[in-house]
């Protein structure tokens, strides 16, 4: 499958998150940040990362020397059946996982600043491209990633989950902005604490996000005493990739228990989980899936749909799927016997909307019994027209019948729908539905489409047919902060470009001393001096310059901790 075909098949509601990469926005200094991280990472990670990492860089269109364009990545990714898009920072978890489901990598377009070079509190192109992409060159891991997207996109969120997401996004945006004040960060941290305190019991989405974090983002693989790195957060973080394998970071065998370990996206992790192999990841995910409403259905699934306060789907034992915002359920002897939605609702089968059962046909909601019609031993979904006739339910004639739960239906049958030999809906006019003296539907409301099925076998987040439902997402209101550069900063970027040209063209190396002198106006700079040093030390006529910069960089290691790893590696 080509990249174009993968992206063209994305659901419409996901496309609202996609932005233009705007490659020209990357400054020469941004390119140096990329090169410094990638140079350091590849030198170190080739010894400690999963074996697919180094080869995976080339297979996914990523080089050491420059920030990849999304076009370059897609030209490479098409050979392994994946694609990539650029987005604005941290997008909602459900959307992130749904992109994965469609074999599309989400790439945050921004890049970290030099003062956060060892660890970034927000997703950036180093994390997303150089972290997530390389390991998907391993087919077993790529299958896990896609499968995780399929399951994760169906996990129920709670009403508080989105507030937590917005608070985390807000904090990460502020922490990634070098102009943010300490007071602003403190206020954002307090806001996050407040919304987390109000959250209550963790939702399915919260638990599966934990599994995602401890595998896809921060996973280790192999022997617990000598594991390899495969998680994107570690592969893209110079500092944390080194600290991760030290003894003070606790290593735990990866099991389903990882779902109960929460995390802080803006800070290094105190423990990490080790999977023996990538197959084990799928085994644990299957364990979790078996606990989800997606598999268990029932009253618990309906309640999760109601508590989510968002579009959801429940599936009857007949295979009929009802998608909408669920608001109410009637319970009899501990079992759900009637459900209600409000607002646009669709009826679906095999994740395809049924003709005549779209959101305009059920614009004001939907209600239907769950259970077996009284008076027959045959499950209702397997009743033939002749079986219905024996119950007095005949097309074009008034009839009345009762479910075993006590729900009564009286009306004129006008239509039945069957799929794969099963009765899935019955439509009545002049219909009244009651339970214990309460009217659930009356003739003035129009035709009554009744869902058929004795039980609810599945419940999951989102509509069964997103395009048919007309699902849409609004991209996050708060955008990542774009740094505005003054004239002095732009001059500095020019010096970065000059040094890059010298390195790439292998000429004009004697211009380095004059560039070094110009950096006296930038006393906080350490990244460009390190690039000049890298070139100067390989040219005997510039030994004095190299020695001078070496002394300067040694001092910078003391005053600028963020440059320690890169400078120490360069000087060793």
Q: For 484-502, what is each residue's pLDDT tens digit?
A: 899 999 999 999 999 999 9
Task: Tokens for 440, please give them.
Answer: 């659930």
Name the nearest CA neighbour of 408 among 360, 371, 363. 371
Number of domains comprising the chain:
4
Say if residue 135 is in the same domain as residue 30.
yes
pLDDT of residue 87: 95
Could you tell me the CA-to-CA distances from 50 to 118, 132, 137, 229, 276 in Å, in that order? 20, 13, 11, 6, 12
Q: Which residue is associated with the tokens 């030290």? A: 246
Tell me the β-bridge partners of 311.
325
Which of 253, 287, 321 delimits the end of a domain?
A: 287
Quick check: is 479 in a domain?
no
Residue 98 Cα distances to 4, 6, 102, 265, 564, angstroms? 18, 13, 7, 20, 38
User: Are 93 and 225 in a shared domain?
Assistant: yes
Are 16 and 40 found together in one domain?
yes
Using CA atoms, how far apart are residues 177 and 432, in angstroms rounded to an integer?
61
- Please choose, from the candidates 95, 127, 113, the residue with its C-alpha nearest in 3D space to the C-alpha of residue 14: 95
- Same domain membership, residue 267 and residue 320: no
Say yes or no: 461 and 519 in one domain: no
Percent of the chain with pLDDT strictly greater than 90:
74
104 & 189 share domain: no
Burial class (CB in 10 A: 0-12, 13-18, 19+), 504: exposed
Residue 480 within any structural domain of the chain: no
Exposed e or buried b for every residue in 528-554, given b needs 16+ CB within 10 A?
bbbbbbbbbbeeeebeebbebbbebbe
Report the DSSP pairing between strands 320-332 and 335-349. Answer: antiparallel
Q: Which pLDDT belongs to residue 159?
A: 83
Q: Are 368 and 315 in contact (CB under 8 A)?
A: no
Q: Are residues 321 and 282 in the same domain?
A: no
pLDDT tens, position by position, 313-367: 999 999 999 999 999 999 999 999 999 999 999 999 999 999 999 999 999 999 9
Mean pLDDT of 148-160: 94
Domain check: are 422 and 526 in the same one?
no
476 lies in some domain: no
pTM of the full structure: 0.90
Q: What is the Cα–Cα distance from 319 to 258, expressed in whole angstroms?
A: 33
pLDDT, residue 251, reads 95
Are β-strands 250-253 and 271-275 bridged in parallel, bridged antiparallel, or unpaired? parallel
Detail the DSSP E strand segments found in 300-391.
Answer: 311-316, 320-332, 335-349, 352-353, 366-369
Distance CA 73, CA 331 (A): 53
Asked if the structure places residue 227 within a domain, the reply is yes
**Percent of residues, the chain, with pLDDT higher than 70:** 99
Query: Do 327 and 427 fall within a single domain?
Result: yes
244 has pLDDT over 90: no
Looking at residue 81, its pLDDT comes to 93
User: Would residue 511 count as lying in a domain?
Assistant: yes
Does residue 443 sit within a domain?
yes
- Are 76 and 134 in contact by the 8 Å Cβ rule? The answer is no
pLDDT at residue 1, rounded to an integer:
59
Average pLDDT score over residue span 149-165: 91
| Cβ-proximal residues to 543 (8 Å cutoff; 6+ apart), any chain | 536, 537
Q: Does residue 475 belong to any structural domain of this protein?
A: no
Whether the CB-CB separation of 422 and 378 falls below 8 Å is answered with no
* Position 572 pLDDT exceeds 70: no
In this predicted structure, the answer to whether residue 21 has a pLDDT above a threshold of 90 is yes
Shared-domain flag, residues 508 and 559: yes
Q: Which of 434, 469, 504 is the last residue of a domain?
A: 469
* In the predicted structure, residue 121 carries a pLDDT above the cut 80: no
Do the strands 104-108 and 83-87 form a parallel or antiparallel pair, or are they unpaired? parallel
CB-count burial class (<10 Å; 0-12, 13-18, 19+) for 555: exposed
pLDDT digits (tens, 9 = 90+) for 434-474: 999 999 999 999 999 999 999 999 999 999 999 999 999 88
Angstrom distance (rounded) from CA 393 to CA 400:
7
Rounded distance between C-alpha atoms, residue 20 and residue 25, angstroms: 11
The two tokens of residue 363 are 């614009």
Distance CA 117, CA 552 (A): 19
Tell me what pLDDT residue 78 has: 92
From 263, 287, 311, the end of a domain falls on 287
- Confidence at 266, pLDDT banded by 50, 70, 90: low
Residue 477: predicted pLDDT: 85
Q: Where are the beta strands (DSSP E) in 161-254?
A: 219-223, 226-229, 250-253
Residues 405 and 352 in one domain: yes
CA-closest candidate to residue 507, choices 459, 463, 539, 546 = 539
For residues 391-412, average pLDDT? 96
Residue range(s) defining the domain that contains residue 498: 487-571
Instruction: Collect all residues with Cβ–Cβ distance below 8 Å to 29 and sequence separation of at least 6.
Output: 114, 492, 493, 496, 527, 528
Same domain, 270 and 403: no
Bridge partners, 347 (sequence order): 322
Mean pLDDT, rounded, for 116-145: 89
């Amino acid at each position: 499958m080509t990249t174009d075909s993968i992206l063209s098949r994305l659901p419409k509601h996901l496309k609202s998150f996609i932005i233009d990469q705007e490659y020209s926005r990357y400054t020469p200094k941004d390119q140096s940040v990329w090169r410094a991280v990638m140079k350091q990472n590849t030198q170190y990670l080739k010894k400690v990362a999963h074996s697919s990492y180094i080869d995976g860089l080339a297979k996914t269109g990523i080089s050491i020397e420059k920030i990849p364009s999304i076009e370059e990545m897609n030209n490479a990714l098409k050979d392994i059946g994946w694609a990539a898009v650029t987005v604005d920072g941290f997008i909602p978890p459900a959307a992130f996982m749904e992109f994965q489901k469609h074999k599309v990598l989400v790439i945050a377009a921004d890049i970290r600043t030099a003062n956060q070079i060892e660890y970034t509190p927000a997703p950036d192109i180093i994390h997303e491209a150089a972290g997530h992409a390389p390991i998907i060159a391993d087919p077993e891991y790529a299958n896990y990633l896609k499968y995780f997207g399929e399951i994760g996109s169906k996990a129920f969120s709670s009403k508080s989950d989105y507030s937590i997401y917005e608070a985390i996004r807000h904090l990460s945006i502020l922490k990634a902005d070098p102009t943010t004040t300490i007071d602003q960060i403190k206020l954002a941290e307090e806001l996050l604490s407040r919304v987390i305190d109000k959250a209550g019991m963790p939702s399915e989405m919260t638990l599966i996000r934990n599994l995602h974090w401890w595998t896809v983002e921060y996973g280790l693989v192999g022997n617990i005493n000598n594991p390899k790195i495969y998680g994107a957060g570690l592969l893209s973080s110079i500092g944390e990739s080194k600290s991760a394998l030290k003894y003070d970071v606790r290593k735990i065998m990866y099991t389903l228990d990882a779902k109960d370990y929460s995390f802080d996206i803006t800070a290094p992790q105190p423990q990490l989980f080790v999977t023996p192999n990538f197959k084990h990841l799928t085994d644990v995910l299957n364990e979790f899936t078996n606990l989800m409403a997606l598999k268990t259905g029932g009253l618990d699934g309906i309640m999760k749909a109601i508590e989510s306060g968002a579009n959801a789907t429940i599936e009857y034992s007949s295979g009929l799927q009802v998608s909408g915002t669920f608001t109410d359920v009637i319970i009899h002897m501990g079992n759900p016997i009637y459900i209600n939605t409000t607002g646009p609702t669709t009826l679906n089968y095999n994740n395809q909307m049924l003709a005549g059962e779209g959101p305009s046909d059920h614009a004001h909601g939907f209600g239907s019994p769950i259970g077996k019609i009284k008076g027959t031993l045959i499950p209702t979904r397997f009743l033939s027209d002749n079986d219905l006739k024996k119950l007095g339910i005949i097309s074009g004639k008034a009839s009345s019948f009762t479910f075993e739960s006590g729900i009564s239906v009286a009306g004129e049958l006008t239509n039945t729908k069957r799929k794969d030999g099963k009765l899935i809906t019955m439509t009545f006019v002049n219909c009244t539905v009651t339970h214990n003296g309460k009217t659930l539907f009356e003739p003035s409301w129009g035709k009554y489409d009744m869902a058929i099925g004795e039980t609810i076998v599945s419940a999951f987040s989102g509509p069964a047919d997103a395009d048919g439902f007309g699902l849409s997402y609004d991209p996050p209101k708060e955008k990542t902060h774009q740094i505005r550069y003054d004239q002095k900063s732009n001059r500095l970027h020019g010096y970065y470009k000059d040094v890059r040209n010298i390195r790439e063209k292998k000429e004009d190396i004697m211009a380095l001393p004059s560039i070094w002198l110009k950096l006296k106006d930038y006393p906080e700079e350490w990244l460009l001096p390190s690039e000049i040093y890298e070139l100067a030390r390989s040219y005997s006529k510039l030994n004095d310059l190299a020695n001078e910069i070496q002394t300067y960089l040694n001092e910078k290691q003391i005053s600028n901790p963020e440059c320690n790893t890169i400078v120490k590696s360069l000087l060793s």
